[in-house]
Amino acid sequence: MIIRDAVEADLPTIVEIYNATVPTHMVTAELEPTTVEARLPWFREHWSEHYPFWVAESEGRVIAWLDFKRFLPRCAYRGTAEISVYVDEEFRRRGVGQRLLEQAIARAPSLGITALVGLIFGHNEPSLKLFQSLGFERWGFFPGVAQLDGVQRDLVVMGQHCPARSSSFSSSSWSSKLIHREHRP
């Protein structure tokens, strides 16, 4: 298995993996499947310098993905990233999600990220256990905030502080990278 930056050509498989989770109501609050066209702007918001989007590939096939997102838009939160992990059903419980998360934890400091946050449904015990096994702690709890099939579901915020990197992430480099990202083809 290799982990690499996602490219636009991966998007149909990324969407397929994502859509497979919609009817389970375990991972996403989406109630209907999405399309590649609808997810294209979301995909293009990622940039490898700070908020990368990775895929795990096995024998030339994308089997999972992990993305970093801005946690909140205010500048004071720029060092915190929300991460999401989705694994093809056929490859779950094989350590794929764990390897992606380990890579995210290891690379976070070099990306200027000081804290990682995962938003996980309270009934998604496999994901909660995975995050806990890698040192994430429960940082927050929102009871009954998601309505899925007539059932109110809780949202758990799992977080982990990342080791500091040697040089700080300056606001000037942040701004120049944002400008660079907005003009990227």
Q: Where are the beta strands (DSSP E) in the chain?
A: 2-5, 53-58, 61-70, 80-87, 115-121, 137-148, 151-161
Q: Is the pLDDT of residue 180 over 50?
A: no
Q: Is the pLDDT of residue 166 over 80?
A: no
pLDDT at 131: 98
pLDDT in tens, 61-111: 999 999 999 999 999 999 999 999 999 999 999 999 999 999 999 999 999
For residues 132 and 157, is the Cβ–Cβ distance under 8 A?
A: no
Q: Whole-model pTM? A: 0.84
pLDDT at 169: 43
Distances (CA, A) of 109 to 75, 106, 163: 17, 7, 6
Mean pLDDT score of the chain, rounded to an integer?
88
pLDDT at 48: 67
Domain range enclosing 67: 2-182
Closest CA to 49 of 144, 147, 174: 174
CATH code of the domain covering residue 64: 3.40.630.30
More confident residue, 181 or 136: 136
Q: Is the pLDDT of residue 177 over 60?
A: no
- The amino acid that residue 112 corresponds to is G
Structural domains in the chain (count): 1
Q: What angle do CA 66, 141, 39 make, to 5 degrees?
A: 30
Distances (CA, A) of 126 to 26, 55, 104: 10, 20, 18
For residues 130 and 150, is the Cβ–Cβ distance under 8 A?
A: no
Q: Is the pLDDT of residue 118 over 90?
A: yes
pLDDT in tens, 21-38: 998 988 898 999 999 999
pLDDT at 76: 95
- The amino acid that residue 93 corresponds to is R
pLDDT in tens, 14-73: 999 999 999 898 889 899 999 999 999 989 888 767 899 999 999 999 999 999 999 999
127 CB burial (10 A radius; 0-12, 13-18, 19+)? buried
